[in-house]
Each structure stands twice: as structure tokens, then as C-alpha cells.
A and B are shown apart, each in its own frame.
Chain A
Amino acid sequence: MFIFMPVLRSRMAVPAVSLLLLVCVGSGCERSVPVEWESSELVDALPDEQLQQQLRDILVQHCGTVARPRLVTRPDAGIEFQQHLKHGQAVYMKRCVQCHGVTGDGNGPVAGHMYPRPRNYTKGIFKFTSTPYGTRPRRADLIRTVRRGITGTSMPSFDRLPEKDLEAVVDYVLVLTQRGELEYQLAMEAEASEELDPEYVQEYVDDIVTGWQEAELATTWPLSPQPILDAERARAGRQAFLSKGCSKCHGEDGRGHTKDNIGLDSWGFATRAADLTSGMLHGGQEPLDVYRRILNGINGTPMPGFGHALQSEPETIWDLVAYVLEVSNRRRFGETIPAGLIKPYDTAARQAEAEEP
């Protein structure tokens, strides 16, 4: 206020203040209202307010604040990295926040209108990674997703974003993710133990660091070299699709229009086995993308990894890749896909249905 004092004393005071107010209203000064990372419901539900505050203080210590974000995995980062994160935050607040929300909980103002929902980062789970099921993604996986977008969802490609912005925004997403992970673990600890012992807090912090470090070294690769994915491979893949368990959820026609094709994902939303004929494979249309979805499964969803089941027959995975690509490209080749009625599972019931007049 003391900056205004000399102005207020002058005769110009009233017009100057009015002008300032007008400028504020006209230019949308409300944007400068400081944004805050919100506490999760779990933290708010803790009965002990002192414990809540202690938890929030620990979070600030490890993850910083909106004004000074910190990455749990880089506690010793210097001023340059700090500026890099602030730049990432600026990019995030311009291009990502509408869907993913200020805290990264996937609950931005427009998120409710979307299906699938924007990713909630705060669980540390990302669907389309090059790492095994249950592990964190590599940083490169997140960069790829931002660059490529996710076909068939509301996530656009940010391919034209300058490299500097892209790198920075992904690091800022990591800040939000790791903050979410730590908050969740601390909230569970606080709820169960009714205290936050520094020794255990450090253990949770260490777990986050280890998890992200391990992911960087956990890239999965095909068990056998990629063959030419021709029609013969696709035919073999069709057989495997029916016999190896894929059709149990995706249906025999790959459309997923089966009676109980509905499950829950790790974010609490209903999810279905993909309609492979849609031509929009969310995890990418490259053979390696499809291979990794089959090998590792899809994090946070009911899609399991087939790496264990098919380890002794790695060529079968390539057959399946060939078939999935063939099915998902059918529409592109002008084929009309039948509506895919929901059919009974067991042969007897199906026959009975067919015999009905």
C-alpha cells in the first residue's frame, strides 16, 4: 500500500485509483489471483487439523509451492532448474490446466465434458509407457505423449511446441505427479498411524525417487525382432486373438461389444476393452506401440500384460500386433464394419439364440 501513499496524497489520487481499477477490470486482473495447489480429499478428511498442517508442511518441504515448485527426484537442483520449472508452469497454465487442473488431478474446468477423462497425474500412473505394468513411465514416454497426443481422446498433439517448452512442461507435470504421490502416501500414513514419523516420511520420499529412477532403466523391448507384418501374420494373429484370451474382453470381432466388457480403472472411472476396429489405438499406431500394450498391458486398466503368458512363443505377440493393426486399419481401407451386436458368450446359448425365429 505504501507505494500508493504519495499518489493518494496528491490531487490526482482519485482519478489514478479509478483508472487503475478500470485497467484491472478491463484486462482481467483476476488472473493474477495467486493459484494454489489444492489438498486432496484424503488430507481434508483427516480429523486432526494439526496433523493436516504437518502433512502440508512436509509437502511444501519436498514439492515446494506454486511460487517455487520443486521436484522430489531433484532435491539439489539449482536456480536454473528452478527457472526451468517456472517456465514449465507458465506453459502448463496456458495450455494444460483447462483439462488437467491446477493440481494435476485431471479435474480442470472442462474435464467433466470429456470421455475418456483427462489424466489425473496425482497417482503417478500413466497408461502409455514403455515400462512394465505397475512401474512409473520414463520421462521420454511423457514427452512422446505430449508431442503425439492421444488419438481418439481429447488430448491433442503439441508437436509444434518449442523443444524448451515441451521439456519444461513435462518436468512441471512430474512436479505435480510426485507431489500427488507423496500426498497420497502421507495421507494414508497419517490416517493409519495418527502421526507422521519423520523416519517413515523419508521412506515414502525415497520410494518416489526409487520408483522414478527405476523406470528410466526399465524400458521393455520386443522379445524377438520385428518381422514383416503381412497378411499371413495377421491370419495367425487372428487365431491367437481367439485362443490366447484377447477375445474374452475385446470380443471375437475385436469391437469389445460384449455383455460385461466394463471395468474400473485406477482413477475410479468406468473403462472398456477398446473397440479395435475404431482405428484409433490410444497408445499409438506403430507396431512397437501395439507390441508394448500386449507385452506389458495398460497401466491402471484391466488390460493385462501377456509377457508372462507368451514368453515361450514371442512370435505370437508379433502375430497379434499384425492382426490388431490389420483390424484397426480396416476402415481406412474403406471397409464397413458390422455393428457388432452383443453376443452371448457360450456356444449353447448362442445357438439357441440363432435358432429362435
Chain B
Amino acid sequence: MGRDMTGFSTVGRCPRGRGRLWTAAVIAAVAMIGVSDRISAADGRFHGRIVLEGQAPDLAPLVTKDQANVKDREVCGAHDIPDESLVLGKDNGIAHVFVFLRRAPKGYRKQVPQDPVILDQKGCVFLPHTALIQVGQKVLIRSSDPIQHNVHSFPKRNGSTNLLIEPNDQKGIELVYRRAEAGPIQVKCDIHAWMSSWHLVLDHPFMAVTDENGEFSIDGLPPGRHRFRVWHERGGLLEKSLSVTITGNDEPVTLTYPASKFGG
């Protein structure tokens, strides 16, 4: 039974009888939803931009350079620490917005990525601010700061983690999530209470987070109708069930949300 990179059963290449039956079923299913069987099951792509409309709220830095009475001032007060709860890029594109399918499409076979997700802490900021993690995938939490931090996660389904991390610990703490979460979860440092990041843990790869210009792309989707969720830490659940029909020849979409949703 052949499988392509995204883990879907691919049509063709079937040496055994049982596989042939399965293939026939896949072809039948694809034919039933009226899509040419020449399109691979995973050609679909949901991509586009997420844009803020209106006047964005003015966010003061969480810590300003040389601010008095900051914990571990020599490190945390060495530069301004921006409020990353709303980051806007080119043409008001919103960064750090999660777009995801709550559950994998039918027929998806789980493949856990071999590469770990690396999370660092530098200048009393979590790097990156948002991360996509799959169930079973290794998460390495490191620190590049010469001071102690604690990494405290607030999952709703998995067990919570709260570990002190030594200064400049490059070997890091290894975490593995066992179950998919219903939405992004917060990871904080309690010692430096402004330090916050958001992780999305799912048992499939059909998730994306917008880049600095608000652009996102979820690749390898099977054709058909999918229901996406869109979530942002200030805006909350922007879309609970955004219905999108994927054809395999998908144009980029623009999702626009008013500034009022983000405290603007």
C-alpha cells in the first residue's frame, strides 16, 4: 500500500489483494464526490491571508529598556520587550493566528514528524511566540538566557508541565504530548510573568499559523469540504467552523476581522 508524504493512501501501486480492495474503495469514494481520480488525494491547499480591518489597539511594551525594578533586570531589562499578543505585518496582516482542522480528514494515517519542535527563551521572551506540535512529536525546550526560567504549560487534556530550566540550558527539556488539544494552549514563565507563548497540539498536520504578514498555508488536504477553526490569542475563536471546499486547485483566500475583536 503506497503512501505519499502527507500520509494519505495513494491511488495505484498495490501489490497485494487486500490493498487492491482498499484502492478500489478509495477510487469509488473519490468518484462519488465527483472529483477526477487523477488528482492525488492530497493536492488540496487552504491558503491565504488574515487581515485586521480598522485601527489596531496601541500596545505598550511589556517591559521597557532600563525599566526600574524588573526581575533579572540585566537580562530582561536589556531591551524593550514588545507585547506580542497582537503583531501586525504588511497591510495589516495579523501574525500568530492559528488555522486548523480540529480532526484529521477521514483516511489520514498518522505520521509523526521526526524533527523536534524547538522552543527557546532569549531576552525573557519565548521564541517562537507560537508553535505547531503534533501528538507524539518531540518538543525541546531550551534556554539561551543566563538566568533561570520556568516553563509552565496549561493544556486542557494532556498533563501540565512546570519545570525550572537552568541558565543557558541548550540540551533542554524534552516533552511529548499524548493527546490532541481542542485549541491552542498557553505556555508561560511564572518567574517572569509577562512571558507567554501559544502551542497548538493536534494529532495531524493540517494546521498553520500565520507568518509576520498574516499569511498561512495548509497543504496536502484531500479534496472535499473541510471545517476550519481560526483562533487568535486576543481575538479568541474567530471561526468555529469555517466551511471551505477544497478542490485541488485552490485560490488564496483573505479573511478579514474588525479591530474591535482584538481590543481595538
Which residues does A use to contact B, with CB under 8 Å? 125, 133-135, 184-185, 188-189, 191-193, 207, 211, 244-245, 248-249, 259-260, 263, 266, 297, 299-300, 302-309, 344-346, 348-349
Contacts and interface: CB of A to CB of B under 8 A. Distances in A.
Contact of A345 (B70, B152, B159, B190): B70
Nearest to A194: B241
Contacts of B164: 244-245, 297, 304-306, 308-309
Given A207-B157, A345-B70, 4 more contacts: A188-B156, A245-B191, A299-B160, A345-B72
B150 interface: yes
A249 B190 contact: yes
A133 B161 contact: yes
The 8 A-B residue pairs with the shortest CB-CB distance in the complex, in nearest-first order: A134-B159, A302-B190, A245-B148, A304-B150, A346-B73, A134-B160, A304-B162, A304-B164
B230 to A, nearest CB: 14
Given A248-B191, A260-B193, A308-B173, A192 B162 contact: no
B190 A308 contact: no
B182 A133 contact: no
A28 to B, nearest CB: 42
B125 interface: no
Contact of B71 (A248, A266, A348): A248
Interface residues of B, number: 34
A249 to B, nearest CB: 7
A259 B160 CA distance: 26
B68 A249 contact: no
Given A297-B162, A306-B164, A259 B102 contact: no
Contact of A266 (B103, B148, B160): B160
A346 B69 contact: yes
B166 interface: yes
Contacts of A192: 102, 182-183
Contacts of B162: 133-134, 297, 302-305
A185 B70 contact: no
B165 interface: yes
Interface string B149-187: 011101011111111111001000100000100110000
Contacts of B73: 345-346, 348-349
Nearest to B150: A304
Nearest to A345: B71
Contact of A308 (B72, B163, B193): B163
A238 to B, nearest CB: 17
A262 B68 CA distance: 19
Contacts of A307: 163
B163 A133 contact: yes
Nearest to B173: A308
A162 B150 CA distance: 42
